[in-house]
């Protein structure tokens, strides 16, 4: 079974988790980047990112290689912005509506809150009832904890069982 991890990461937390999962389950990694980067410091970071998430924006993405037909499972990785998934992931989902027929999983990284809401919004946007596995981590790269490793392992095990 072939798996892809498709993710967007601004501060490196989501990339950190994507790399850990890929190492454990031997998955392909596809990093999604907007053509115009979001501000990554200060008040502008929260204003522009939050506004974009709340407004449901779909920014243009840098070229990436992905074909849903190549994968049995697709893991989506996103930071949580204003209780929503990041706009670059929204753009990816809009461009790749054929992923509904695959086993889908999601992981989120955040500092504030709203991860559960972000996951529910993503399910609704994709048009699915549930993900095969869900993982929510708080600043995993910035605040490394042994319990996060346990959560990542459990996430990978749920993927392999379903």
Domain 3-161 fold: Rossmann fold (3.40.50)
pLDDT tens, 43-74? 655 545 665 666 677 899 999 999 999 999 99
pLDDT tens, 98-123? 898 899 999 999 888 889 999 999 99
3-state secondary structure of 124: helix
Is this prediction's pTM over 0.85?
yes
């Amino acid at each position: 079974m072939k798996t892809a991890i498709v993710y967007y990461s601004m501060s490196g937390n989501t990339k950190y988790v994507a790399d850990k999962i890929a190492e454990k389950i031997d998955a392909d990694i596809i990093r999604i980047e907007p053509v115009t980067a979001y501000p990554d410091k200060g008040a502008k970071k929260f204003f522009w990112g939050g506004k974009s998430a709340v407004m449901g924006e779909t920014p243009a993405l840098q070229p990436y290689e992905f074909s849903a037909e190549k994968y049995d499972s697709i893991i989506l990785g996103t930071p949580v912005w204003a209780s929503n998934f990041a706009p670059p992931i929204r753009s990816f989902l809009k461009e790749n509506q054929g992923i509904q027929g695959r086993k889908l999983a999601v992981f989120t990284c955040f500092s504030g809150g709203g991860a559960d809401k972000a996951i529910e919004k993503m399910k609704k946007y994709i048009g699915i009832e549930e993900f095969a596995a869900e993982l929510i981590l708080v600043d995993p790269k910035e605040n490394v904890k042994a319990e996060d490793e346990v959560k990542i392992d459990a996430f990978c095990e749920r993927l392999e069982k379903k």
